[in-house]
Homo-oligomer: A and B are copies of this chain.
């Protein structure tokens, strides 16, 4: 996910926000005495990456096929030995398949076959997570993100034999290799390749029940791969792009991790890192970078992500009983609730009109989604979850206004957003009906179980209901189905959506997936989408947390 600062509104956000919080900003950094300790703990918990050497498994040919995902199919043609044993001059354009998604560093060996190398060679390597990335021309580039995210690297080989590592970390399954220049006076071959794959995941999680349906098992496998690839020295949002820690991704990744790899150290590190790098008015910044040294993206104030931090911390403490971390970071979770207090009106409604002007409110990649109901629901959810955290830590006395505030917001939501006639929750002045609104009204407990079931079932009958735009929102939809007791529907929705990716050949789950528009891209060029994206890994969480629903 990328903050679009070109959007004039989001450019103004920091200014607005600073103005609004001006007194507190300049008054004092509420975490002044903690930050150094938090950042040290983040560093102390940095996992040592596990490196695994991987070999390609075959050569493939890219073929146009309207039935294949995005129209491109990789067809196994030869063993890699054919490449290794043949002059590369006859192999330009070859595509190597590593058989799985990998994140790390690519090394190739190049050697003279005949004659003495008397000039450099120029090779272009294109790394692709999915077939289209090694089939579709990148230029002229029309995407809205940096062209440099696309993983094509040109290398000048000045001497042979040589072992050359592409300096940039790449994420891929496929590698296309093209010859852009060579001396006519000698012949050479690529004699070996190795991919040093990295992840902080050390072991395989337990097997699923033997009764697990094949498709669910496949979804779990792909979800685990997605999560493993994103688990580097932080929970990355995507190892190809944007390679950094976002609060929203952390939340979903840490849920999935808790039910699979159980790398608590990584969750702990990320929670401390985000806290240590929060703004000096105490508000969390939505995303942080590790290099050259840990730092946050200035101005990335994302309302819903701020609220999810406390939820993530609560889940972490509940799962690990690591109260020390909980107590250390409690001031941060607590502080974010001020955002809710600020926008909560006398009527119990969050003033979305105002909040939406002053903040980036995300929830989903979906043009036109009205976020009033989502925000109202998340606010209630965050209040309740953060209060549950307070109870775990014995800190209820510090937030004793929360239960009544949560009740007030809940009552207002029911009053203002529930349409008893249709049995659906509506959002905004146009009373928009969306999957997101239902999901958050259900997760927040605004809907009773019966109302929840009614609303979710009614959704499919509403012609212009706003569907989830990306797997991130789909997570909350599945969670709402489970929360409502719609087990069969939850399983079916998960199978349809993530199973759809699996059936289309996904090795890892995609950042963006619209079953009806495989070329959808929030960035105006689908090859720049991330095809291994943290927020898409949550079937792992659902399948493993609810074996009674999914594993039979």
Contact = CB atoms under 8 A, between A and B. Distances in A.
Interface of A: 2-6, 115-122, 141, 144-150, 153-154, 156-162, 168-169, 180-186, 241-242, 287, 289, 291-292, 295-300
A4 B186 CA distance: 10
Nearest to A2: B118
Contact of A154 (B5, B154, B182, B287): B154
Highest count of chain B CB atoms <10 Å: which of A160, A183, A241, A297: A183
A145 B6 contact: no
Given A116-B295, A120-B168, A159-B291, 7 more contacts: A3-B118, A5-B185, A116-B300, A119-B242, A122-B148, A146-B183, A153-B156
Contact of A116 (B145, B158, B296): B296
Max chain B C-beta neighbours (<10 A), residue from A3, A118, A141:
A118
A169 B291 CA distance: 28
A283 to B, nearest CB: 16
Contacts of A5: 115, 184-186
Contacts of A148: 119-122, 156-157, 180-182
27 contacts: A2-B118, A2-B119, A3-B118, A3-B185, A4-B184, A116-B289, A116-B297, A116-B299, A118-B242, A119-B148, A120-B148, A120-B168, A121-B146, A122-B147, A122-B148, A144-B184, A146-B181, A146-B182, A147-B182, A148-B156, A148-B181, A150-B181, A153-B154, A154-B154, A156-B168, A159-B292, A162-B292
A157 B147 CA distance: 12
A435 B115 CA distance: 35
Contact of A6 (B120, B122, B184, B291): B184
A6 B185 contact: yes
Contacts of A158: 168-169
Contacts of A156: 148, 153, 168
B185 A149 contact: no
A87 to B, nearest CB: 14
Contacts of A296: 116
B185 A4 contact: yes
Contacts of A144: 184
A289 B185 CA distance: 15
Contacts of A159: 289, 291-292
A533 to B, nearest CB: 16
A120 B170 CA distance: 12
Nearest to A164: B167
Nearest to A295: B116
Contacts of A169: 158
A289 B183 CA distance: 15
A446 B145 CA distance: 73
A130 to B, nearest CB: 20
A291 B122 CA distance: 18
A183 B145 contact: yes
A291 B162 CA distance: 10
A241 B120 CA distance: 10
B168 A149 contact: no
Given A6-B184, A185-B4, A145 B161 contact: no
A150 B186 CA distance: 18
A445 to B, nearest CB: 36
Nearest to A290: B159
A3 B181 CA distance: 17
